[in-house]
Amino acid sequence: MRLQPIARVGDVTVSAHEAGCISFYNSPYYPHTSGAAVDIYVPRQWDDVAFSPVEGRVKQIYAFTPPASGSFPVAEREHLLILESDGTPPRYIRLLHIVPSVKVGDHIAVGDALGRLIRSGFFSFWTDLHIHVDLENG
């Protein structure tokens, strides 16, 4: 697996697989329209494994019910993973569309397995599996 840097905000470098695709502005969700988010589409050979595009410590994991879709099956639960960068001041990185295998307090390196990717009710019917990444200042 070869990950390459695609974006940097302060001390946070976001990486993606060299054979995958990325999209910064493909959604009406505010972090995308403001350029603060990226969707990282994984290569098919990864199946549904979510490998971390960033480094940091798992600060919080929130489970919630995503919107339903009438046109395709979606996961009943979505998870928001919040990682805290090691920098000063720390930055908070939000990751979506993953059923986590990590827990609060775990330190995550780029390329570590985070869990399993899911299809979410936030997706359109044509949307492939991806990790949503957005950043904010600490």
57-114 residue pLDDT tens: 999 999 988 777 777 777 788 899 999 998 888 999 999 989 999 999 999 999 999 9
Task: Compute the radius of gyration of the chain from its Cα atoms.
Answer: 14
- What whole-number distance in Å separates Cα of residue 106 and Cα of residue 120? 25
pTM, to two decimals? 0.89
pLDDT classification of 46: cutoffs 50, 70, 90: low
The answer on pLDDT for 52 being more than 80 is: yes
Whole-angstrom Cα distance, residue 126 to residue 119? 11
- At the top level of CATH, the class of 3-137 is mainly beta
Domain ranges in the chain are 3-137
DSSP E strands in 1-122: the ranges are: 3-9, 12-17, 21-23, 37-41, 49-51, 56-64, 78-84, 91-96, 98-100, 107-108, 113-117
